[in-house]
Amino acid sequence: MSIEPVDALRRIAFLLERSRASTYRVEAYRSAAKAILPLGEDEVRRRVTDRTLRDIPGIGPSTSTVIEQAVAGQVPDKLAELETESAGPLAEGGEELRAALRGDLHSHSDWSDGGSPIEEMVATAMELGHEYLALTDHSPRLTVANGLTAERLRRQLGVVDAINTHTGDAFTLLKAIEVDILDDGTLDQEPGLLGELDVRVASVHSKLAMGSTAMTRRMLTAVRDPLTNVLGHCTGRMVMPRAGDRAGDRSGRRGGGRTRAQSTFDARAVFEACAESGTAVEINSRPERQDPPEDLMALALELGCLFALSTDAHAPGQLDFLAYGCARAEKVGVPPGLIVNTWPLEDLLEWAAPGG
């Protein structure tokens, strides 16, 4: 079996990301793929023959070895090693639920605090068999994550349109956002602009330790807003260091290496409001979040909530984190039909439309 050099480099980066490897290791392979992509096959082969590969910025000893072995028709040693060590299942259980998922409703690109261009996220989502992906970069208040101003978000929507023109019926990139829930429960973006989007994930990112009464009031206001579709990572907890510290997303570089206790709020009241308003509770698949905890997931199920099972991916390989969320959802007994991203695109969009 042979593999093209660019494909080998991208696959290595993907496997490193899904296994939460070092940011710098991942970036080396993605940068190398980007560096040789415009050269064309003949030029890459010439460079290998002339031993001038390393003259190309972004190509180092490890990545040049991968390219040379791929050009020679071999499976690069590094790729073979990772396929053996890192390509297996990420979690036990949840396989049937994973097969039922049609897409992912929470992902980030390098427009905010993700580590890769939108196009790379889309390419990987398609390779994973997704029918759709929501691009949910952050809103303006989260400056540490390079949140999108209204102007930048409008520019991004044009990029989304261009990508969808290119992918056609094979795949849909959803116009979306992860919008901050402000202290008073309002959403951190112009309401008119939010109304133009397909999907809106609302999350608390600041003052996570505020008192239970205030946090409950804040969350109730947000989930009852007709523009809110999904309540993102509702407790805000971190049960292990961020994957971003080790997996290529820039967000992990802010305060990484820490755990964080979950916020306190009246979960029954919040989930009752979610059920009444049709707001889905996110099952966040990031291994460092595991949010909501299983007891709160079971409570949301008991109260009749919908769910969105998503990755919160900040790098292409993290789009495979769905396996973690599926295993947890299966353990709690969440039926696939209550998970909105098992639904066909038309049904999802009808549900997500304001007033839908």
In order of their start, the domains of the chain are 5-86 (1.10.150.110), 95-352 (3.20.20.140)
The pLDDT, as a whole number, for residue 297 is 98
Q: Which of 177, 15, 157 is CA-nearest to residue 108?
A: 177
The pLDDT, as a whole number, for residue 241 is 85
The pLDDT, as a whole number, for residue 1 is 67
- What distance in Å separates the CA atoms of residue 290 and residue 324, rounded to the nearest whole number? 8
Q: Which of 312, 311, 318, 310 is CA-nearest to residue 247?
A: 318
What is the full per-residue pLDDT of the chain (356 aa) written as tens digits? 689 999 999 999 999 999 998 778 899 999 999 999 999 999 999 999 999 999 999 999 999 999 999 999 999 999 999 999 999 999 999 999 999 999 999 999 999 999 999 999 999 999 999 999 999 999 999 999 999 999 999 999 999 999 999 999 999 999 999 999 999 999 999 999 999 999 999 999 999 999 999 999 999 999 999 999 999 999 999 999 875 443 334 434 444 558 999 999 999 999 999 999 999 999 999 999 999 999 999 999 999 999 999 999 999 999 999 999 999 999 999 999 999 999 999 999 999 999 77
Burial of 89 (0-12, 13-18, 19+ CB in 10 A): exposed
Do 223 and 202 touch, CB atoms closer than 8 A?
yes
- What distance in Å separates the CA atoms of residue 100 and residue 175, rounded to the nearest whole number? 22
The pLDDT, as a whole number, for residue 246 is 39
Determine how many CB atoms are found less than 10 A away from the CB of residue 43.
12
Determine how many CB atoms are found less than 10 A away from the CB of residue 46.
13
Q: Which of 255, 254, 259 is CA-nearest to residue 241?
A: 259
- What distance in Å separates the CA atoms of residue 337 and residue 344, rounded to the nearest whole number? 11
* Residue 320, phi then psi, degrees to nearest 5: -85, -5
